[in-house]
Amino acid sequence: MQSEPGAMPPRVRTNLVVILAVLLLIPVLTLFRELARPSDIWWTPKPLAVSLSQSANRVEVIVRGRSLRPLVDGGQLSLTTDSTAPVVSAGDITFRFNNWDRVRAQKIPVLLLYAFMIGVVGTLFVMVLTGKLAYRGEKI
């Protein structure tokens, strides 16, 4: 049984389809895992929360038009509980930062590379399946 010129033998086509499927699966799974990840995991963990003095260069909290730091230092801030209103000290205040925007910005080049790989390998995959990829045969 003679096949048409340029037709890919079934064994070669099967091997190429399997290789391309694996190469397509790797960036697809990585891209899906990255896009499906919850965005709230990038908050600073509570045990590593930053103190008021350490957070001064990254965040400023304003309470009724006044910066939080002088209010705490001056003993003007208190926390009302059931029966008492103890004064809040600087050690009582910690901050957690959401770093999702920074992490996401760092990952954009890698995600674009994966998307490009998906496009290229997906195109080759479709070309092999439809028989549009030219096959020149083996030279012995």
My answer on whether 90 and 48 are in the same domain is: yes
- Whether 66 and 92 map to the same domain: the answer is yes
Contact 49, 94 (CB under 8 A): yes
Residues 30 and 49 in one domain: no
Query: What residues make up the domain containing 54?
Result: 44-97
Q: Is residue 102 part of a domain?
A: no
Q: What are phi and psi of 96, to 5 degrees?
A: -115, 135
Do residues 83 and 61 share a domain?
A: yes
The total domain count for the chain is 2
Q: Are residues 16 and 32 in the same domain?
A: yes
Asked, for residue 21, whether it belongs to a domain, the answer is: yes
Are residue 60 and residue 93 in the same domain, yes or no? Answer: yes
Of 53, 57, 61, the C-alpha closest to 91 is 53
- Write the DSSP symbol of residue 58: T
Q: Is residue 134 within 8 Å of 22, Cβ to Cβ?
A: no
pTM reported for the whole predicted model: 0.51
User: Is the separation of the CB atoms in 121 and 24 below 8 Å?
Assistant: yes
Q: Is residue 103 a part of any domain in this protein?
A: no
pLDDT one-digit tens code per residue, 48-99:
878 877 777 777 777 777 788 888 888 887 777 777 777 777 777 777 777 7
